[in-house]
Chains A and B, each alone.
Chain A
Amino acid sequence: MEEVLVVDDSKVMRDMIVACLRPHGALNFTQAASGLEAIERLSLKPYQLLVLDLNMPDIGGFEVVEFVRGQKALEKLPIIVVTTRGDESSKKRALDSGASRFVTKPFTPEALLSEVRALLSERS
């Protein structure tokens, strides 16, 4: 079982992401409703994948990515940024900060799933 942390302040969006990834199998999902909660959860338990929204209250996805990459223990954690902000500068900023993949909303289940497959197999 791979532990996946899905972070988005919208419950519907989290549910949609989980629904998209379910066909992958062998994944165990934990949901976090804010960037803060995500950082807390990451500090308490190891995860194998982080699916992250950019636009959230208090601290956004960019800050989460920067924070995660600043920590030795989380250096290699695969991060997929899922966001509505489809412009190139956001994409560049997310990837520069250390995100592994960038998926723009609206996405198809296949698009998200293939990114996750690629990431998880790359790592192993």
Chain B
Amino acid sequence: MSDGLDVKAFITGYLAEAGEHLSSANALLMAIDASQKRRESNPKAVRELFRALHTLKGLSAMVGAEGIVDITHELETLLRAADKAGGRLPQNAVDLMLKGVRAVEERVAALGRGAEVAPAPKALIEELSSLNVDEGSVAGTAAIDLAPELAAKLSVAEHAQLAQGLARGQKGRAVEFRPSAERAAAGISITSVRERVGKLGELVKVVPRAAGGAVSFVLIVLTTATDEALCEAAAATKEQLTPIALTETAAAAAAEPVEDAPVQHRDWVRVEVQRLDDALERLSVLVVTRSKLDRAVKKLEAGVGDLRALKAIVAENARQLRDLRGAIMRARMVRVSELLERAPLIVRGLSRASGKPVQLDVQAGDAELDKTVADRLFPVIVHLLRNAVDHALERPEDRKAIGKPEEGRITITCSDHASRELELRISDDGRGIDRQRVARRAGAPVPQTDAELLELICRPGLSTMEVATQTSGRGIGMDVVRKTTLELGGELTVSSTPGSGTTFTVRVPLSVTIVDAFTFVCGGETFVVPVSAVDDLTELDRTQVIEPPEGKKNGGARVQLFRHRGAAIPLYPLGAMLGFGAEPGSEHERPKVIVTRKGAEAMGFQVDRMVGKQEIAVRPVTDPLVMAAGVAGSTDLGDGRPTLVLDLAGLAARHSLRKVMQ
């Protein structure tokens, strides 16, 4: 711990950076694992992983997290040796390193909670340090036709990376960028050039050069882009571009480029600056409207104003507010590909635990959805993946016996519909759901349709596995999967064909408003009211009710009063207002009163009983035929039936109004 340096001031930044490094570490380990399966090394991923963990180690040392420093140090030592060996790692290294990264993640999380950081697990450290990297000759380093001054700057691993890329048919190019004060002022710097060139291919190395006092950078890149595109990206002329080729044809096995490690979602959202600028832009438009309003009001005061002009400004203001809300909602969107980033990791773990080889195919597309929905959807995806690996896919020997490839296949596809709904499909090529068996276990008739089948498998506690497996025995069940989907205002469907596989389809709205709400019963029906709208909950004490004197009116309507916290407040009979009679048997219980407030004015609503508190996703009522004062929207409490979200103050206003009109 650094004395005198206030670590607390840096902890948020630390957590954000640590999160990014850990997330890339996981992705890089998956890339290394994929390469190892093809019996190839992945020098680039090894180097990047080394860097990520090394940076994390330094940062952790500054915040005094010794447990993290020890683990990252051990991982880093292994990776440094691997980097020197051209990216080669021992077979079981990836598993151990995943364990190591997991251990670091736990400790970073502890730090985030303000808890003590546990020391490094001894067994893991010993296992890691016992791994030996074979430092034998580095294979696949065919000679490359490159200027000696550049070649001297490439490490063994970079040389291998370049040679591999050339061998699998990518073009090698060295392009020179010359920085200058004018260019820097125009936003053309080595940083922006590096980024642009990086987008056109795989950047192997950037070498700084000084010729006669003038500094320049040579970017060595593997690409399929045209030379013109490269020159444009590097602000270079044709003369500043040199091709790089193999001097002898190396028949190296084709390898896929390392997928770039994306960033994992946490308790924060990564927002494109463009989207924030957009929101800001809309805000500044509102400021203009505000001064227009000011002017219009002043004119009216002076007696020269025009009410029509004012109305037009108010309408414009309403539209701009809607736009601003839209812009902020867009800033809250996260990419589905980000949400699905951990899916390969999860499937890999499940595949190991169950001993079933699995190939996962993720087609996330570029759909986006609200952060809140994404967070809630994640456990659903995890459960469906678990189901697929543990229950749906057959054992490899069984698959072979019926002529299927031994490796099971799981596909996740995703698309958004009309920018309102996300459709996520998780398919497997397993045995399909055994309808007879499900029916037997549920003690119900054999389901004839997929909808009936879904009904049965979503019954709480139903599982067709006699033995709870190591993974699927835990976690949430299908009932929770469906409940979550419904709560989000979505829909779950299944389609299963015996012998050839099952597809679960989850449809959810791209964004929802989630609020805490009280559930209560009135007139035999269930309603909810947002917690934020409730001032107090109390039992109805009959002795505290004051009948208004004959002829005395309250807002034009005759309403009972109720003594609450030393004041007399109106008490509305909610059941009667909604046109219900009393709930049968409710006289045995004491009715409850929900106290709410409109401005400074408190009011009570008599209901039959309170049920509980839960989070709900509010779907606003937009259909003008259904819109009604006092109804804020509808929700699904997880039972598949719509439940009204009441706006009690709005309801009271309508009630008073109606009484006056009568």
Interface residues, chain A, with chain B CB atoms under 8 Å away: 9-13, 15-16, 19-20, 33-34, 36-37, 39-40, 42-45, 53, 55-59, 63, 67, 70-73, 83-85, 105-110
Contact = CB atoms under 8 A, between A and B. Distances in A.
A42 B9 CA distance: 30
Contact of B17 (A11, A72, A110): A11
B650 interface: no
B179 A12 contact: no
A106 B1 contact: yes
B17 A10 contact: yes
Interface in B1-45: 1-6, 9-10, 13-14, 17
A70 B210 contact: yes
B3 A108 contact: yes
Given A40-B184, A43-B179, A106-B2, A11 B13 contact: yes
B213 A20 contact: no
Nearest to A106: B61
Nearest to B214: A43
B205 A58 contact: yes
A105 B190 contact: no
B58 A84 contact: yes
Given A36-B208, A40-B184, A108-B3, A72 B213 contact: yes
B215 interface: yes
B64 A106 contact: yes
Interface string B176-203: 0001110010000111001000000001
Given A36-B190, A37-B189, A70-B210, A19 B17 contact: no
Instruction: Using C-beta atoms within 8 Å of the partner chain, give the interface range for chain B.
Output: 35 or more
A12 B63 CA distance: 11
Contacts of A84: 54, 57-58, 61
B10 A36 contact: no
A97 to B, nearest CB: 14
Contact of A16 (B5, B180, B191): B5
A35 to B, nearest CB: 8
Contact of B208 (A39, A109, A110): A39
Given A11-B17, A84-B54, A44 B184 contact: yes
Given A16-B10, A33-B191, A40-B190, A105 B62 contact: yes
Contacts of A71: 210, 213, 215
A57 B205 CA distance: 9
Given A20-B5, A36-B191, A55 B205 contact: no
B51 interface: yes
Given A12-B17, A57-B51, A58-B194, A67 B10 contact: no
Contacts of B206: 36, 58-59
B16 to A, nearest CB: 8
B208 A63 contact: yes
Interface string B123-153: 0000000000000000000000000000001
B10 A12 contact: yes
Nearest to B209: A67
Contacts of A57: 48, 51
A29 B35 CA distance: 43
A41 to B, nearest CB: 9
Given A12-B10, A58-B205, A37 B59 contact: no
A110 B10 contact: no
A40 B207 CA distance: 12
A105 B180 CA distance: 34
Given A84-B57, A108-B4, A36 B194 contact: yes
B387 interface: no
A13 B208 contact: no
16 contacts: A10-B17, A12-B10, A12-B59, A16-B5, A19-B6, A39-B208, A40-B215, A43-B215, A44-B179, A45-B181, A53-B58, A57-B48, A59-B206, A106-B61, A109-B3, A109-B5
A10 B58 contact: yes
Contacts of B190: 36-37, 39-40
Interface string B592-608: 00000000000000000
A110 B179 contact: no
A112 to B, nearest CB: 9
Nearest to B18: A12
B493 interface: no
Contacts of B9: 19
Contacts of A53: 58
B656 interface: no
Nearest to B58: A84
Nearest to B216: A43
A25 B308 CA distance: 61
B5 A108 contact: yes
Contacts of B10: 12, 15-16
A39 B194 contact: no
B55 interface: yes
Given A20-B5, A53-B58, 4 more contacts: A37-B190, A44-B180, A45-B181, A63-B153
B6 to A, nearest CB: 8
A39 B58 contact: no
A42 B17 CA distance: 27
A106 B51 CA distance: 17
Q: Most B CB atoms within 10 A — which of A9, A57, A70, A107?
A: A57
Contacts of B207: 59
B77 to A, nearest CB: 11
Given A58-B206, A63-B208, A83 B58 contact: yes
A45 to B, nearest CB: 8
Contacts of A70: 210
Contacts of B3: 108-110
B179 A105 contact: no
A82 to B, nearest CB: 9
B59 A13 contact: yes
A106 B1 CA distance: 7
A40 B217 CA distance: 9
Contact of B2 (A55, A63, A73, A109): A109
A10 B59 contact: yes
Contacts of A110: 3-4
Contacts of B205: 58-59
With a 10 A CB-CB cut-off, give which of B17, B59, B189 has the most chain A CB atoms. B59
B28 to A, nearest CB: 13
A12 B62 CA distance: 10
Contacts of B213: 71-73
